[in-house]
Each structure stands twice: as C-alpha cells, then as structure tokens.
Amino acid sequence: MNVTEIIEGLVVLLVVAGALLTVISAIGALRLPDIYTRSHAISKSTTLGIMLILTGTLLHFWFRHDHVNSRLLLAIVFIFLTSPVSAHLISRAAYYSGVRPWEGTVRDDLAERRETLAKSAKR
Amino acid sequence: MNELILRTVTAVVTFIIILFGIQLFFAGHYYPGGGFIAGLVTAGALVLLLLAFDIQTVKTMVPVNYRMLIGVGLLFALGTGLGGVVFDVPFLTHAHGHVMLPVLGDVSLHTAVLFDLGVYLVVVGVTMTIIETIGEEE
C-alpha cells in the first residue's frame, strides 16, 4: 500500500461516514417524538456529517489534483459555527411560542420564565 | 429577550461572509463569481447584522446611504463605457494591460473590474434599499 491508496481509502471512509451520519439524522428527524429531540438529532449529526464529507472532498482535491481549496476549509469552519446556533434559535423560538415537549419529559427548568414572558406578552 | 449567542456568532461570521464576498468579486474574471454574486453575498452579511441587531444600530455601524450607492454604481458603469469613447473606440470598449504598482509589483489590470465594481455597488444598494424599506414599515 502506498500513500495514494491510503489517502484514497481515507477519503472514501470520510465521505461514506458523513453520508451515513446524514442518513441517521434524517431517520432521527422522522422517528423522534418532539421538536427538541429532533433538533438534537438533526443539528449534531448533520453538522458532523457535512463536515466529514467536506473534509473528504478537501483531501481528494488536495492529493489527487494538487489543489488546496481554502473555500472548503472555510465552509467547514462556517458550518461548525453556524449550524448549532441555528438549532438553538429554532428550539428557543419553539419553546417561547408554546410548543410543549414530549409527554415523557420530567423536568422543565424554564417553565417559570416562560409563564412570566407569556403574561408580559398578554399585557 | 437575551440575544447573546446570536450576536456573538454574528460578530464572527459577518467578517467571514464579507471576506468571501470580496474574494468572489476579485476572482470573477478567472473563476465563478463576479460583481452580482459578490454584491448579494455582501448584502447577505448586512442582512445578518440586521437580524441580530436593530435597524438603528446597523445604521450607526454601517453609515452608508444605500440609495447613493446605487447612483455611484451606475456612474461607475457609465464611466467605464464613456472611457472608451474618450479614446476614440466604440462605447464600452475595455482596455487591459500590465501595470507596475509601488508595493504590489506587476499587476494585470482590466477596466472590466471597474464595470464590475459598479454592478457590485448597485446590487448591494438595491438589495439593502428593498430590505430596509420593507423592514422600516410599521
């Protein structure tokens, strides 16, 4: 095995792992009961999945075509920064607009805060 | 409501978006990109600022009159066109060549970049005018 084959194997591994993680997050979006667990499944595993696919692409173009694409590096950083924040904002908007968590939930630390916000919104 | 996470991430991400817009603008002659898409990306960064902060804060952060930007961009486009007429060639004929600059050395320059700069300014101006006008209506 020479270096090219090792790199090719690594690229294949990264892209397949990324695609699998994305599929798993899609299954999570279908199977999980409420918006918060869905957001947990979607945000984390798609972020990592897309980052793995982009890393595989970066390595492929780097070693096969001798071209370091800095846009891919930037995209990896950008998705890592922004995707969890968007999930946070969507979950928070859902919580404060009154979406109830799954009935098996045992703890709701923000309930008091939500009540005061709802009262101030009514006034 | 507390917007700390959104504002912190916006402060970091806006610079990445604006740099990407500038890169798209200057790469337009040899790679995909150009004035139109660079203008849209820059306007996107400004819209992200508008989402994270209120309209008054963004106006003090970026003190630009976007309607003036449209006019300046159109003047750039017209000016590059009239530049051809001055040198007795048809309207919108572009010139290019290698120029020795003090710091940068040998640079290949083309007047199409100035036309593209006009497109860029008009696109930023139009997009921001539309969005700010809609946003201001109460």
Give the model confidence (pLDDT) of A29-48 as tens digits: 999 999 999 999 999 999 99
Considering only CA atoms, give the Rg of chain B.
18
Mean pLDDT on A38-65? 94
Instruction: State the DSSP code for A65.
Output: S
Chain B residues within 8 A of A85 when measuring between CB atoms: 5-6, 9
Q: Which of A78, A85, A89 sits opposite B16 (nearest CB)?
A: A78
Tokens 């002659």 map to which residue? B29
Phi, psi of B105 (to 5 degrees): 80, -145
Contact status, residue A87 vs residue A39, Cβ threshold 8 Å: yes
Q: Which domain holds residue A19?
A: 3-121
Q: How many CB pairs under 8 A join A and B?
A: 19
**What pTM did the predictor assign?**
0.85
Cβ pair B12:A96 closer than 8 A:
no
* Amino acid found at B42: T
Whether residue A78 has pLDDT greater than 90: yes
pLDDT band at residue A104 using 50, 70 and 90 as cut-offs: confident
* More confidently predicted of B44 and A100: B44
Contact status, residue A61 vs residue A67, Cβ threshold 8 Å: yes
Tell me which residues of chain A, numbers 47 to 76, contact chain B at a CB-CB cutoff of 8 Å: 71, 74
* B6–A contact, CB cutoff 8 A: yes
* B4–A contact, CB cutoff 8 A: no
pLDDT band at residue A1 using 50, 70 and 90 as cut-offs: confident
3-state secondary structure chain B: CCCHHHHHHHHHHHHHHHHHHHHHHHHCCCCCCCHHHHHHHHHHHHHHHHHHCCHHHHHHHCCCCHHHHHHHHHHHHHHHHHHHHHCCCCCCCCCEEEEEECCCEEEEEECHHHHHHHHHHHHHHHHHHHHHHHHHCC
Mean pLDDT on A77-95? 94
Cα of A31 to nearest chain B Cα, Å: 29
* B13–A contact, CB cutoff 8 A: yes
Chain A residues within 8 A of B9 when measuring between CB atoms: 81-82, 85
Mutation choice for B interface testing from A77, A79, A85 by most B CBs within 10 A: A85
* B9–A contact, CB cutoff 8 A: yes
Whether residue A55 has pLDDT greater than 80: yes
Instruction: State the DSSP code for A97.
Output: T
Contact status, residue B76 vs residue B120, Cβ threshold 8 Å: no
* A82–B contact, CB cutoff 8 A: yes
pLDDT at A12 (0 to 100): 96
Tokens 């009239």 map to which residue? B82
Count: domains in chain A = 1
Cα of B88 to nearest chain A Cα, Å: 42
Query: If you write DSSP's letter for every residue of A21-42 in order, what string do you get?
Result: HHHHHHHHHHHSSSHHHHHHHH
Cα of B97 to nearest chain A Cα, Å: 28
CA distances from B67 to A35, B26, B70, B115 (A): 42, 24, 5, 18
pLDDT at B93 (0 to 100): 87
Strands B96-101 and B105-110: what pairing? Answer: antiparallel
